[in-house]
Amino acid sequence: MLLENKQVAIVGGGPGGLTLARLLQLQNAAVKVYERDLNKNARVQGSPLDMHEESGLAAIHKAGLFEEFKTNFMPGADKTLILDENATIHLSDHDTSREEDFGNAYFRPEIDRGALRKMLLESLQPETIVWDSHFLSMEAQNEGWLLHFKNGTSVYADIVIGSDGANSKIRPYITDIKPFYSGITMLEGTIYESKKAAPHIHSLLNGGKIMAFGDTKNILMGQKAEDALGFYASFKTDEQWAAKSGLDYTNPTQILEWFKKEYPEWSSMWYELFENVSVPFIPRPIYSIPLDQTWTSLPNVTIIGDAAHVMPPFAGEGANMAMLDALELSEYLTSNQHKTIPQAIAAYENKMRERAAKAAQESLENGEKMHSKDALKTMLNFFSGE
C-alpha cells in the first residue's frame, strides 16, 4: 500500500475529514485529524444534510456505517413546502405517501450535522482526533511537512490533507486561485425549542423544510435535531454587505426592523422567526470556485471539500462532494491503481476538479433561479417535474 509507514495529517474535522480518516483507518493507514474545536462537545452549526446515493451515501456504505446512518437519519425531514411571501402554500408533498427508499437515487435522506459528526467520531480509533489544534502554518521538512498549531505544538506528517473549509489555510500552499462572490448573501438564524418559541412556524414546518420566494428574495428553513429550527434570509447584495450594513447581529429587534424594511411585501407571519431567534445571526456571503480552476499537484499535499471547491448551497452538494472526495482519495491512496503517492494525488485532483466544476455550475444556476423575479414559478415547475 502506498501509505505503508506514512503518517497522514488531516487538517479539519468536518464530514469530509472524518470520513476520510475512517476510510483510511479501515485500510490500516496511520492518520491523525487536527481539529480546532476544543472537544467533541462543540456545537455543530448549520442545517441538516441531505445525503445523495452516488456521493455521501456511497462513502457511508464504504465506511461500513450504513446501518448506523439508518438509525440516525431524520425521517420526513425532506418533506417540502413552497410558499410565497404571504405564506400562502403553493406546493406541499407532506401528504405524499413515501417510503424510506434507500438505493433510489431520488431518495435523499437527511441527517443532522451533529448526529453525522458523532457517528463518524465514534467510528474512529481512540486518539485519532487531536482537539484544540488550530492550524497556523507548515514548512517542508525531510520528505514531508512540519505543521504548527496555535496551541504551541508542532507535528510532522508525510502527507497533509486540508479539510479545513472555505477559508482553508492549507489551500494557499497548493494554489493562489480564490473563490469568487456569487452575488448572494444569506443571513442565518437558529431557534431552539421551536415548538414553544415559534409555534406557528413550527407547526407549518411540520418536521420538514420550507422554501419561500418573493420579489427576488427568499426565506429558507428546515427542522434540525432536538426541536431546533434553522432559517436563512437569502438575497442578492454587495459582497461587503455584512460589514457595511451597520447591523448588530446580536440584536434581534434591529434585525427584525431590517427585515421589515428589506422584505416589505412579506407577511408579518415571518416575524416570529426574528422575534424568537437565538442570537447572534450569522451573515454568510456565498462564494463559488472558478469553474475552470486548475493547478499543478504537489506530491504530498492535497485538499478536499470546501477547501478544494467551495460552492453555493443551492444544489445540496457541499457535504456530499466532500464525502465523495474522501471516498475517491482514500481509494487512490490505498489501492494499487497508482504506483506513487504523487500520481495518486494528481489523479484524484484532476477528477475532483472536473466533477466539482459541474456541481458548482448547477449550484450557481440554481441560485440565480431562486433569486429571480420568477423564482416562485420556476421552483414550482422544478418540484412539479415540469
Which position has the grid cell 417510503? 99
Count the Cβ atoms, other than its own, within 10 Å of residue 20.
32
Q: How many residues does the chain have?
A: 386
Question: 268-271 long-range contacts, Cβ below 8 Å, gap at least 24?
Answer: 269/87, 269/200, 269/201, 270/87, 270/201, 270/212, 270/219
Which position has the grid cell 440584536? 251
User: Does 43 carry a binding-site annotation?
Assistant: yes
Q: Which of 35, 34, 23, 30 is nearest to 7 (CA)?
A: 30
Phi and psi angles of residue 168, each rounded to the nearest 5 degrees, phi first: -50, 135
Cα–Cα distance measured from residue 285 to residue 237, given in angstroms and rounded to the nearest whole number: 9
> What Å distances lie between residue 322 and 129, 180, 345, 353, CA to CA?
18, 19, 15, 12
Cα–Cα distance measured from residue 171 to residue 177, given in angstroms and rounded to the nearest whole number: 9
Cα–Cα distance measured from residue 378 to residue 386, given in angstroms and rounded to the nearest whole number: 9
Which letter does DSSP use for residue 103 in this model? T
Count the Cβ atoms, other than its own, within 10 Å of residue 268.
9
Whether the ω angle into residue 280 lies within 30 degrees of 0, i.e. cis, is yes
User: Does 113 carry a binding-site annotation?
Assistant: yes
Q: Which of 160, 191, 370 is nearest to 279 (CA)?
A: 191
Annotated binding site for FAD: 50, 113, 306
Cite the annotated binding site by residue number: 43, 50, 113, 306
Binding residues for NADPH: 43
